[in-house]
Amino acid sequence: MKNIEKQQITISGILKDTRETQKEINTASQVLGRSYTLADDMVFRAAKEKDDDPARKRSYKVVVDLHGKFAALCKCVEEEGQVQNTLRQLEAQVEAAAARGAALNVERVSEDLKQVKQENAGLSKLLA
């Protein structure tokens, strides 16, 4: 029972951490979207101007590339969080299985002990 309570507390903590991390990821993604929209608009307007400055066009390409890389980074963080969550769930399942196995082993040993005691009592009667 104590192991189950401990596991439930651990699971609750993990779920809380997961929710907080997901909120942080969502916030970062929203900030990314707003920032990219603003930067894209400003840099695009500057690159579109008639003076044909190649630095402006390169800066627009850099902004687009930066946006793509940051989006990929956010995706990696999300995937890592999912992998860690799955890992924690599997660890909890392994612990639960080990606890069940230990309980079964204790029951088997207890039953075997009872049988040995009964056999000893029977042998003692035969010797007496």
The pLDDT value recorded for residue 50 is: 67
The pLDDT value recorded for residue 21 is: 82
Distances (CA, A) of 4 to 20, 46, 85, 120: 24, 62, 19, 38
Residue of 21, 8, 33, 14 whose CA lies nearest to 85: 14
Euclidean distance between CA atoms 9 and 5, whole angstroms: 6
More confident residue, 90 or 1: 90
Question: Is the pTM value of this prediction over 0.95?
Answer: no
> Do 69 and 76 contact (CB within 8 A), yes or no?
no
HEC-encoded secondary structure of the chain? CHHHHHHHHHHHHHHHHHHHHHHHHHHHHHHHHHHHHHHHHHHHHHHHCCCCCHHHHHHHHHHHHHHHHHHHHHHHHHHHHHHHHHHHHHHHHHHHHHHHHHHHHHHHHHHHHHHHHHHHHHHHHHHC
Q: What is the pLDDT of residues 15-68, one digit of tens each?
A: 888 888 888 888 888 888 898 888 888 888 887 876 777 888 888 888 889 888
